[in-house]
Structure 1
Amino acid sequence: MAIKENPTRPSRNRIISFVLFGVGLFFLLIGLIPGVGSPQVSRVPYSLFIDQVNDGLVARAYITQEQIRYQLKDVEGEAGDVLSTTPIFDLELPQRLEQKGVEFAAAPPQKGNFFTTLLGWIIPPLIFIGVLQFFAARQARNGPQGALSFTKSRAKVYVEGDDTRTTFSDVAGVEEAKAELQEIVDFLKTPERYLNIGARIPKGVLLVGPPGTGKTLLAKAVAGEARVPFFSISGSEFVELFVGAGAARVRDLFEQAKQKAPCIVFIDELDAIGKSRASGNFMGGNDEREQTLNQLLTEMDGFSADGATVIVLAATNRPETLDPALLRPGRFDRQVLVDRPDLAGRKAILDIYGRKVKLDPEVDLQAIAVRTSGFAGADLANLINEAALLAARNGRTEVAQADLNEAIERVVAGLEKKSRVLNDNEKRIVAYHEVGHAIVGALMPGGSKVAKISIVPRGMAALGYTLQLPTEDRFLLSAEELKGQIATLLGGRSAEEIIFGSITTGASNDLQRATDVAEQMVTTYGMSQVLGPLAFDKGGGNNFLGGEGMNPRRRVSDETAKAIDAEVKQLVDDGHDQALAILNRNRDLLEEIAQRILDVEVIEGDELQSLLQRAELPELQPA
């Protein structure tokens, strides 16, 4: 009968580690405790030593920088005591010792004893071996999280059967991307159907798009639909202080993936390790990021050589910065755009997240979808959550339509700042400013309408706001519509000029945005009659993060730069003149709406629409 090992018995490695640690600690204490391994010598004051020298009681002395050790003369045949003292700066000491007949010299070096030798040459290696044994046992016990495992992959593994398995039914608004990835799912489920005909499934699929559009969620849904293991890791987790650690983690990740094939490896934020080597960000062949990228390229070339079905999904917001070698066929064969959803997609996303909260039966999600043009999936999820928080804060058990409307304003304009009290003069200026935006915006062409005017401060800097909501999804804008946007942005400043005869700092953001629109019309869209159909901004590819860093201006002559500035100024001036003309034509309506909003602070709905319908365009002046 076999004897089973007691599971509670310590392992041999742990026993050895504890023994070595105990022995090392014992000898360390021997070396640290005074008096162990060396004779004890009494220490006396320096003054007593001098008195004993002057009295002729000292036979010999050994002088060092740290101490003076001396022996008294023999008394009645007995050896004198050995004492020590701390030396001080005394130039007359040698003469005094010589006059009193004291033998003195530098003390000879002390010979090490057995314990000191053992402590210095044997114990440190034993302690080092014990520490290695301890960490090796800990690593074997804890797996990849051990202390010496910085070269191990840190990917999280999701396997089939988890209660939180994500499928395509949990993803909405990206129907085209789902259709592209359905082929990956079919291959993972029935690879023989493709292999029999000689087809080769793409090794890698790159998901690109703005932040919050559901790229990570879509990758999880692919694994959930195919019912295969899903390795998830961020690109930044490959980057390490030690050179070569990132490449080792890449190797370990693909080794684990081969063992669980067929499976999916998902690398989020691929641009953290996949930036182009020609961009100047790399310093040389020993750079850690370059080694990691080279290892990733090598693994994607050869991981399917042994027949293991491993598909790499990656996501990034900056595809324009990726290395061309990473995007060539055979590595990331396909790029799937995961863009912001359209109207139908937003409605489907709201339905998914709306099922997770208690909605009032009267809630119209279609109306919310219409008002949230440009929102990504993460924005819509946050919108539903904000509405639920508002409903709970107000003591309601269900989310009402008013909660969703307020949540939209929170996301767009920020939190209400009712504690920010404006004086009467500032409140009048803000009221006329916002009404000026509303009247001009109501008469401008385009797919937006003024839905609300408020003089309640919101966010960090907004003392009031005019909410314009799109009535439809627009993908193209004409030159007249862009000019209308400039005029609308300058409507607030124009109203201040008409009513008060002066301007304030409240229009700073409006001026910034109006100038940006005018500059894009001239330098990007070629909408200048003087400069013609030329683009003066360099195309930087798909820039999903916004900003101007990826579209620098081309080199132009001084005359062209002056012409660009003149055209931008002309567009802004024309918008300003148009706003002044509209507000002068509707001066009485401007006064009426401003007085009304000073009384109630917020105007919206049918009341606002009935007032704005009375606005009229000015008569065209003869050329």
Structure 2
Amino acid sequence: MSDKDDKEPQGGSTNAWMKNMLVVFAIVGALFLFVSLFDGGMRDGRAGEPIPYSDFLAKVDDGSVKEVVIAGDQITGKIGNDQAFRTYSPGDAQLVQRLQAHGVRFRAKPEEQTSVWLLLLYQALPFLLILGIAFFVMRQMQKNAGSGAMGFGKSRAKLLTEKHGRVTFDDVAGIDEAREELQEIVDFLKDPTKFARLGGKIPKGALLVGSPGTGKTLLARAIAGEAGVPFFTISGSDFVEMFVGVGASRVRDMFEQAKKNAPCIVFIDEIDAVGRHRGAGLGNGNDEREQTLNQLLVEMDGFEANEGIIIVAATNRPDVLDPALLRPGRFDRQVVVPRPDIDGREKILQVHMKKIPVAPDVNVRTIARGTPGFSGADLANLVNEAALLAARKSKRLVAMREFEEAKDKVMMGAERKSMVMTEEEKKATAYHEAGHALVSLHVDGCDPLHKVTIIPRGRALGVTWNLPERDRYSMSMKQMKARLALCFGGRIAEQLIYGADSLNTGASNDIQQATDMARAMVMEYGMSERLGWLRYRDNQDEVFLGHSVARNQQMSEETARLIDAEVRRLVEEGETTARRVLSDNLDELHRLATALLEYETLTGEESKRAIRGEDIGRDDRPSTPSPRPVSGTSIPKTRRPGGGAWGTPAPQGA
């Protein structure tokens, strides 16, 4: 960005500020002028104390009056003590002779004639002031379109040009397929005649579908940056207001602006806020949101062609969009923007690492392999956290150690070093996490053990972290049953060591995960022989919950009982597997828990050496802190997608 580009917005804001100040000074000056004219005229006409004409004659006779000025029927003067007075003559013809007889000095001057224009100014100036103030207020209200009282129907779309930071496909990594899908739009914007010669029509709209943080908005900006055309951006929620017709008016105004800047791109973020199914709720299909959607449909593909305007929208809820919005002629293409695979994560990390000084020991491939399920936003946050950790340590380069610490912080939460547990609580947490880790090492189908720690992180007192060897896009029944057993490893380990009467609330998150997984296996994935390959659960993302409730009520009581029985069976199978593994390897459980109490954090390889009774090969045993009771209420930490972290939540209401 050049210096000229940087100064232009500042100069524009300075000029606007100067104009506003000039308007204010003009209003204040006109007000002072009015006051001075009015007050001066009244002062001239009201000089001196008014007295009756008879009292004036009496003062002339007794010699009190020294000097008078006669202007028509108005008489002003001074009495002996220099006190000013004024009075009006009723047309007395003998006044001059009377003044001469008593030796009063007098003079005459012509009667002042008030100008007609001055009278008009006196009358009109208050109204002019009111109009000027009203104009200034309305100008301020309408300065930002859509933000003032008179701008409800104005579009809130913001125009982004190269001055605001140009983004190209070089800044977008890890989503090569989506880039290829949108490359045709870029070619059209660069050379429209190339397609017109063969009679081809470019798609009018492209819908970007993907999870939050996958780079949908960045991809849309890259299209505009590559094509070098204006880029309008607006959110779907900016269309809908409580006033009827405002959303439709904003849609019309947005397309009018786009036509003036064609060819251009209009990007609507979170279009599901305005593009949901019509007639799905209350209002008989005539509410404000549906009127806005109808206007959007007409503008995209109606009687009037909008050539050169390409609509790019983004959503993570394509299932709730109205079918008319997705038909050919409107959003012709649905471009899926998925979470990146390992190669994509490596490219994304390389893009973000260009902005920070990286040490030579940093292995981008290793970081990408250890972050399955991360989106582009997650990876950007990871790099930023690593840079902050290095800056906190006053380092000049960001090393691999900072990236590993940042990955642990992002996936498992920040270390709560100020939270010191008692020895008994620390021991219980160690056996709980050792139980999870031991089950994952002995049950076939579990993801490899990556790390286990009893240091409080985030909202958990301890975390066992399993990572898949490669990117996973589906799970088999064997893997899900292994994960069910893994969920119960912690509680069963505590039960074997402390007895059934010593169970605590630390396994609430494990129980929740196991129950949800078993119910999904039965009701969604068809993994129950007794229930067959049928789906018994409706879409949980329905717009209106009442629809799902109505469908679920159609399930018979016999089917509901059978589902509960199958869910219980799967859960009990996982519990039995975990109990068998831990009972058969009780010595390994003790060894692993002892190593956790000694080192607090172990990697997967260190955990394997610990259960074999081998030396871990580390000499960084933490110092034992002074016991202090844990207070407060904490919520179990939820597992990240693609992670596999099982945490021990803090005691509820301790």
Q: TM-score, normalised by structure 2?
A: 0.72
Q: Which residue of 1 aligns with 2:64?
A: none
Between the aligned partners of 1:326 and 1:25, the Cα distance in structure 2 is 63
What RMSD, in angstroms, separates the aligned Cα atoms of the two structures? Answer: 3.4
Rounded to whole Å, the distance in 2 between the matches of 1:181 and 1:368 is 29
2:497 matches 1:496:
no
Deviation at 1:281, TM superposition (A): 5.0
* Structure 1 residues 612 and 364, CA gap change in structure 2 (3 angstroms): farther
Shift of 1:302: 4.0
**How much has 1:123 moved relative to structure 2?**
10
Matched with 2:161 is 159
Task: Give the distance between the partners of 1:569 and 1:428, measured in 2 at CA.
Answer: 31
Question: What letter matches 1:266 in structure 2?
Answer: F
Shift of 1:400: 1.4
Which residue of 1 is the match for residue 572 of structure 2? 573
Instruction: Measure the CA separation in 2 of the matches of 1:143 and 1:522.
Output: 54
Counterpart of 2:527 in structure 1: which amino acid? Answer: M
Q: Which residue of 1 aligns with 2:423?
A: 424
Cα gap change, 1:373/1:326 in structure 2, threshold over 3 Å: closer, same or farther? same
Helix, strand or coil for the counterpart of 1:183? helix
- Aligned partner letter, 1:230: F
Q: Deviations over 1:520-553 (max 9, x none)?
A: 110000101211222111246899xxxx989975
Alpha-carbon distance change, 490 to 21 in structure 1, aligned in 2, over 3 angstroms:
farther
Look up the match of 1:511. 511
For 1:474, the equivalent position in structure 2 comes to 472
Letter in 1 for 2:182: L
Q: Deviations over 1:430-485 (max 9, x none)?
A: 1010000001011233472111111111112x111111122101112111110000
Q: Is the 8 A contact 1:320 1:540 kept in 2?
A: no
Query: SS of the counterpart of 2:602?
Result: strand
SS in 1 for 2:461: coil
Task: Give the match for residue 230 of structure 1.
Answer: 231
Q: Distance in 2 between matches of 1:127 and 1:284?
A: 49
1:188 aligns with 2:193: no
Is residue 24–residue 127 contact of structure 1 (8 Å, CA) maintained in 2?
no
User: Relative to structure 1, is the Cα distance of residues 9 and 524 closer, same or farther in structure 2, using a 3 angstrom cutoff?
Assistant: closer
Q: Provide the rounded CA distance (Å) in 2 between the counterparts of 1:554 and 1:536.
A: 11
Where does 1:262-411 land on structure 2 (aligned, <5 Å)? 262-282=263-283, 285=286, 287-302=287-302, 305=305, 308-411=307-410
Cα distance change on mapping 1:612 and 1:232 into 2, 3 Å: farther
Matching residue of 1:483: 481
Contact 2:539–2:548 (8 Å) recurs in 1: no
* Whole-Å separation in 2 of the counterparts to 1:200 and 1:169: 27
| 2:521 aligned residue | 521
What is the CA-CA distance between 1:174 and the residue it aligns to? 1.0
Which whole-Å CA distance do the structure 2 matches of 1:571 and 1:605 have between them? 28
CA distance in 1, matches of 2:20, 2:589: 86
Report the Cα offset of residue 148 of structure 1. Answer: 3.0
Q: Secondary structure at the match of 1:357?
A: coil
Separation (CA, whole Å) in 1 of partners of 2:419 and 2:183: 53
**Is the CA contact 2:142–2:151 (under 8 Å) kept in the aligned structure 1?**
no
Q: Is the 8 A contact 2:320 2:542 kept in 1?
A: no
What amino acid maps onto 1:320 in structure 2? D
1:308-367 residue CA offsets vs partner (Å, 9 max, x unmatched): 301000111111122222122111111111111111111111111111111111111111
Q: Distance in 1 between matches of 2:204 and 2:363?
A: 43
**Aligned equivalents of 1:607 and 1:13: distance in 2?**
75
Structure 2 residue matching 1:536: 3-state secondary structure: coil
Cα separation, 2, equivalents of 1:573 and 1:22: 89
d(CA) in 2 for partners of 1:277, 1:144: 26
Report the counterpart of residue 259 of structure 1 in structure 2: 260
How far apart, in 2, do the equivalents of 1:183 and 1:10 lie?
Answer: 46
Partner amino acid for 1:294? N
Residue 125 and residue 269 in structure 1: after superposition, are their counterparts in 2 closer, same or farther (change >3 A)?
Answer: farther
SS at match of 1:464: strand
What is the aligned partner in structure 1 of residue 533 from structure 2?
Answer: 533
- With over 3 angstroms needed to count, the CA separation of the structure-2 counterparts of 1:337 and 1:487, relative to structure 1, is same
Q: In 2, Cα distance between the equivalents of 1:10 and 1:500?
A: 76
Q: CA deviation at 1:585?
A: 0.9
How much identity, in percent, do the aligned residues show?
Answer: 50
The alpha-carbon deviation at position 390 of structure 1 amounts to: 0.9
Q: Residues of 1 paired with 2:336 and 2:609: CA distance?
A: 42
Q: Work out whether 1:244 is the aligned partner of 2:245.
A: yes
CA distance in structure 2 between the partners assigned to 1:482 and 1:26 by the alignment: 89
Aligned to 1:451: 450
Alpha-carbon distance between aligned partners in 1 of 2:34 and 2:564, rounded to the nearest angstrom:
79
Q: Report the alpha carbon displacement of residue 246 of structure 1 after superposing the two structures with TM.
A: 2.1
Return closer, same or farther for 1:137/1:386 CA change in 2, 3 Å cut-off: closer
In structure 2, what residue type is equivalent to 1:182?
Q
How much has 1:142 moved relative to structure 2?
Answer: 6.8
* CA drift at 1:149: 2.6
Which amino acid is the alignment partner of residue 212 of structure 2? P
Provide the C-alpha distance between the structure 1 equivalents of 2:292 and 2:209, rounded to a whole number of angstroms: 21
Change (3 A) 1:125 1:561: farther
Once the two structures are TM-superposed, the CA of residue 186 in structure 1 deviates from its matched residue by 0.8
Shift of the 362–22 alpha-carbon distance from structure 1 to 2, 3 Å rule, reads: same
Residue-pair matches, total: 512
Classify the secondary structure of the residue corresponding to 1:211.
coil
Distance 1:21 1:291 in 2: 48
The 2-side partners of 1:527 and 1:613 are apart by 36
Does the 8 Å contact 2:231/2:267 carry over to 1? yes
Residues 573-614 of structure 1: per-residue CA shift (max 9 Å, x gap): 110010010011111111111112111211125322334579
Equivalence for 1:176 = 177
Seen in structure 2, the aligned counterparts of structure 1 residues 472 and 465 have a Cα distance that, compared at 3 Å, is same
Q: 1:448–1:470: 8 Å Cα contact kept in structure 2?
A: yes
> TM-score scaled by structure 1?
0.75
Relative distance call for 1:149 and 1:539 in structure 2 (3 A) is closer
Alignment partners' CA distance in 2, 1:359 and 1:25: 71
Structure 1 residue ranges without an equivalent (≥5): 1-6, 30-120, 616-623
